[in-house]
């Protein structure tokens, strides 16, 4: 599964134990019946328990069945290799995955079968988005670590030529592209990109929206950046947007220092202007999601007009059954500080005490608060995790606001998170406001991935009775008899998992117990079902004899030099 076999490399005690852990977990969570995966549930129940896995590496199944014992050696430093899934999306009835191998993959949601591969990137593709032309043609826009943007025509049938870019913009950014996002403002469509050069670039997509369906492509030079924002002081990791009730679209960008900025486009200068900051993260933000939440209200008249003029809170609406609700705009972020934070965007929903507290101190210099409006610094909801949170999925953003679906009422407030500890977590009712016990609130954990979770997506699945009642393989989903909500998760292990939201609370608890970052000390106790702890020092030097306390100790000068090198890598 790797170009160079780990069996030819020196193995430390930690790497051997890590390999045993990962290989065992890879076998048991593969959904593939093997003699070594004993005891094992039935094929169908195993597939459901571990998320109906889609293995992006076409050789994984044969490698697992023929030489499962070799996985222990190979997995010591392994992940999915060039099949590492970096981001997910559901669009135009298909599942989309961007990968470390320099491509975007189009898959069938029901069977997991690959439809097309969109290639050409010379580095990992961490982000992509979609665009529809005025002629109705669908385009895929992808950004890569090779600093280039590529635009592809989307094909719903397997075609070799579908994988060729019709537009390539070389040197679109001066460093790795890490985020790509498309949004509309008025009657115009814009592309924003963010990356390691700490900039947010704004692109006018008119040359693409007017692209003829018969044209072979356009000159890359015609697709130009119209503004470059340099407000961030660290690499930009995530971009998202939301259109307010006033018709204005707000763009949100997050960086590796935890800074989140809200921008609008100046209609005259076409520049991105920072409106305000959203604070609360102490280090890198890896994922941002913005959207509208349905909030049921009682005893309020629909004609009060108390929210008139608020771009982030709707007037009270009424369902056909007489129930009343508002729509409230929120933004959620996943961070390396081991938190998932949710903020309500309306200034009117910030309490007076919170507003007074944020106004007391305003840092200066590089940490000066940006924007012309008061910052938001207190989250509405804060969920503590035990390891890095890499992706977040607020379920209310994806449920239809009307008519409501009764079977999903228990999940109208639900949140899904995924991160470095490999578990998918479902919070049916996230604590609001934050409490000291938010680590202990109701949460369901499911296991399936054997490496870090990188991305989450939501799929509203409609009834489909044309499929056979019995799945023909572990990747094929059982038929849907009613509307269903499915959670999709991607990982560095090279798999995509699909979870029926209603079934997550019924799945068995995780069997594997990965040791977390703060618990990774030299002295450890582990078995084949637990990830052994490790220190940074043990990974930097020769093998450490476990449990003897003779780990290599760095001098203060060496530690300072290492810290300087790490900081330079982030810049």
Region for residue 361 given its phi and psi (left: phi exceeds 0; alpha: psi -120 to 50; beta: otherwise): beta
Is 559 part of any domain? no
Q: How far apart are alpha carbons 123 and 144 in whole angstroms?
A: 6
Instruction: Tell whether the torsion through CA atoms of 226, 232, 234 and 239 is positive or negative.
Output: negative
**Beta strand spans in 70-176 (E):** 85-91, 94-99, 103-107, 114-118, 127-132, 138-143, 149-153, 167-169
Q: Is the peptide bond before 433 cis (omega within 30 degrees of 0)?
A: yes
Contacts of 362 (CB under 8 A, 6+ apart): 368, 369
Q: Return the SS3 of 565.
A: helix
Q: What is the pLDDT of residue 61?
A: 81
| Average confidence (pLDDT) over 75-84 | 73
Q: Per the omega criterion (within 30 degrees of 0), is the bond before 39 cis?
A: yes
Q: From edge to edge, which strands make up the β-sheet containing 260-265? A: 236-243, 249-255, 260-265, 272-278
In this predicted structure, what is the pLDDT of residue 454? 98
What secondary structure does DSSP assign to 22-70, as a single string? HHHHHHHTS----TTS-S---HHHHHHHTT--EESSTTHHHHHHH-GGG
Average pLDDT, the chain: 82
Closest Cα partner for 254 from 279, 285, 300, 209? 285
Sign of CA dihedral 490, 491, 493, 498: negative
Beta-carbon neighbour count of residue 368 at 10 Å?
9
Q: What integer pLDDT is reported at residue 554 of this predicted model?
A: 52
pLDDT at 132: 94
What is the distance between the alpha carbons of residues 207 and 157, in angstroms, rounded to a whole number? 26
Q: Which pLDDT score, from 0 to 100, does residue 340 have?
A: 97
Q: What is the dihedral of CA 237, 243, 247, 252, to 10 degrees?
A: -20
Taking 3-state DSSP, the helix, strand and coil percentages for the chain, each rounded to the nearest 5, stand at: 20, 35, 50
Q: For strand 167-169 and strand 149-153, is the pairing parallel, antiparallel, or unpaired? A: antiparallel
Q: Is the pLDDT of residue 217 over 80?
A: no
Q: Give the count of domains, the chain.
A: 1
Task: Examine residue 515 and state whether it is found in any structural domain, yes or no.
Answer: no
Checking if the pLDDT of 365 tops 60, the result is no
- CB 158: neighbour CB atoms within 10 A? 12
Residues with Cβ within 8 Å of 43's Cβ and at least 6 positions away in sequence, in order, are: 31, 33, 474
Per-residue pLDDT tens for 410-469? 898 999 999 999 999 999 998 655 455 545 568 999 999 999 999 999 999 999 766 555
Residue 536 falls within a domain, yes or no?
A: no
Nearest to 378 by CA among 354, 353, 405: 354
Residue 400 banded pLDDT, cuts 50, 70, 90: confident
Q: With bands split at pLDDT 50, 70 and 90, how would you rate the model's confidence at 45?
A: confident
Asked if residues 39 and 49 have their Cβ atoms less than 8 Å apart, the reply is: no
| 274: β partners | 263
Query: Of 245, 232, 248, whose CA–CA distance to 326 is shortest?
Result: 245
- Answer yes or no: is pLDDT of 16 > 80: no
CATH code (residue 301) = 2.130.10.10
65 in a domain, yes or no?
Answer: no
Instruction: Please compute the mean of the pLDDT values over residues 159-168 and round it to a whole number.
Output: 81
Task: Give, in degrees to the nearest 5, the angle at Cα 287 between 385 and 393.
Answer: 70
**435 lies in some domain:** yes
* Position 376 pLDDT exceeds 60: yes
- Compute the distance between CA of residue 310 and CA of residue 315 in angstroms, rounded to an integer: 9
Greatest mean pLDDT among 295-299, 515-519, 551-555: 295-299
The residue segments making up the domain with residue 326 are 81-506
For the segment 117-136, the average pLDDT, to the nearest whole number, is 96
What separation in angstroms does the CA of 301 have from each of 297, 306, 317?
10, 10, 9
Distance between CA atoms of 533 and 61, rounded to whole angstroms? 29
Residue 117 lies in a domain: yes
Beta strands in 267-423 (DSSP E): 272-278, 285-297, 317-318, 324-335, 339-344, 381-384, 389-394, 415-419
The CB density around residue 376, as the number of other CB atoms within 10 Å, is: 25
Determine, yes or no, domain membership for 571.
no
> Which residues, other chains included, contact 553 with Cβ-Cβ below 8 Å and sequence gap of 6+?
537
Q: Please count the other Cβ atoms lying within 10 Å of the Cβ belonging to residue 569.
A: 8
Taking the C-alpha atoms of residue 474 and residue 33, their distance in angstroms, rounded to an integer, is 10
d(CA 8, CA 544): 20
CA–CA separation, 270 vs 267, rounded Å? 5
pLDDT band at 337 (very low <50, low <70, confident <90, very high): very high
pLDDT level of residue 524 (50, 70, 90 thresholds): very low
Q: Report the distance separating Cα 506 and Cα 488, nearest Å.
A: 17
Using 50, 70 and 90 to split pLDDT, how confident is the model at 283?
very high
CA-based radius of gyration for the chain = 24
What is the percent of the chain with per-residue pLDDT over 90, rounded to a whole number? Answer: 56
Q: Which residue has the higher pLDDT, 297 or 174?
A: 174
Degrees, nearest 5: CA angle 271-277-281: 135
Give the whole-angstrom CA distance, residue 128 versus residue 178: 10
pLDDT at 99 over 70: yes
Query: Which residues touch 541 (CB under 8 Å, ≥6 apart)?
Result: 552
- Positive or negative torsion for Cα 514, 518, 521, 524: negative
564 three-state secondary structure: helix
How far does Cα 374 stand from its chain's mean position?
28
């Amino acid at each position: 599964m790797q170009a160079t076999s780990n069996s030819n490399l020196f193995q430390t005690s930690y790497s051997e134990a890590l390999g045993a852990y990962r290989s065992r977990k890879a076998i048991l969570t593969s959904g593939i019946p093997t003699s070594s995966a004993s005891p094992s549930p039935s094929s169908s129940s195993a597939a459901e328990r571990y998320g109906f896995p889609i293995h992006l590496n076409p050789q994984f199944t044969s490698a697992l069945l023929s030489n499962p014992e070799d996985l222990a050696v190979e997995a010591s430093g392994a992940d999915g290799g060039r099949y590492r899934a970096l981001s997910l999306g559901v669009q135009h009835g298909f599942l989309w995955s961007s990968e470390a191998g320099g491509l975007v993959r189009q898959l069938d949601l029901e069977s997991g079968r690959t439809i097309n591969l969109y290639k050409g990137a010379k580095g990992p593709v961490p982000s992509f988005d979609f665009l529809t032309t005025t002629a109705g043609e669908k385009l895929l826009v992808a950004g890569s670590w090779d600093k280039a943007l590529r635009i592809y025509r989307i094909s719903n049938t397997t075609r070799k030529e579908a994988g060729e870019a019709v537009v390539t913009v070389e040197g679109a950014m001066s460093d790795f592209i890490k985020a790509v996002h498309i949004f509309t403002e008025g009657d115009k469509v814009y592309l924003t990109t963010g990356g390691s050069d700490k900039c947010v670039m704004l692109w006018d997509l008119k040359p693409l929206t007017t692209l003829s369906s018969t044209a072979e492509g356009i000159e890359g030079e015609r697709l130009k950046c119209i503004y470059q924002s340099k407000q961030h002081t660290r690499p930009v990791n995530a971009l998202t947007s939301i259109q307010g009730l006033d018709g204005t679209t707000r763009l949100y960008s997050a960086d590796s220092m935890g800074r989140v900025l809200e921008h609008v486009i100046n209609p005259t200068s076409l520049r991105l202007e920072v409106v305000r900051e959203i604070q609360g993260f102490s280090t890198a933000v890896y994922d941002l999601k913005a959207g509208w939440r349905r909030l049921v209200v009682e005893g309020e008249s629909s004609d009060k007009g108390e929210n008139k003029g608020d771009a982030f809170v709707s007037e009270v609406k009424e369902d056909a059954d007489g129930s009343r609700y508002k729509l409230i705009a929120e933004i959620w972020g996943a961070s390396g500080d081991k938190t998932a934070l949710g903020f309500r965007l309306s200034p009117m929903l910030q309490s007076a005490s919170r507003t007074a507290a944020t106004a007391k101190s305003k840092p200066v210099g590089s940490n000066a608060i940006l924007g012309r409006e008061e910052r938001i610094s207190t989250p509405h909801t804060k969920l503590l995790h035990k390891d890095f949170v890499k992706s977040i999925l607020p379920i209310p953003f994806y449920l239809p606001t009307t008519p409501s679906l009764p079977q999903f009422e228990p999940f109208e407030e639900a949140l899904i998170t995924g991160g470095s500890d490999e578990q998918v977590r479902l919070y049916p009712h996230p604590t609001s406001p934050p409490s000291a016990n938010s680590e202990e609130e109701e949460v369901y954990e499911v296991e399936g991935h054997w490496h870090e979770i990188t991305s989450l997506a939501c799929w509203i699945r409609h009834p489909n009775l044309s499929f056979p009642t019995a799945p023909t393989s572990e990747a094929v989903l059982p038929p849907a008899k009613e509307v269903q909500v499915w959670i999709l998760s991607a990982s560095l292990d090279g798999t995509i998992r699909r979870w029926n939201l209603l079934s997550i609370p019924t799945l068995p608890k995780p069997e594997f117990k990965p040791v977390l970052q703060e618990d990774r000390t030299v002295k450890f106790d582990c078995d084949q079902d637990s990830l052994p702890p490790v220190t940074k020092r043990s990974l930097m030097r020769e093998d450490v004899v476990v449990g003897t306390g003779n780990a290599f100790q760095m001098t203060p000068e060496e530690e300072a030099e290492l810290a300087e090198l790490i900081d330079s890598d982030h810049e």
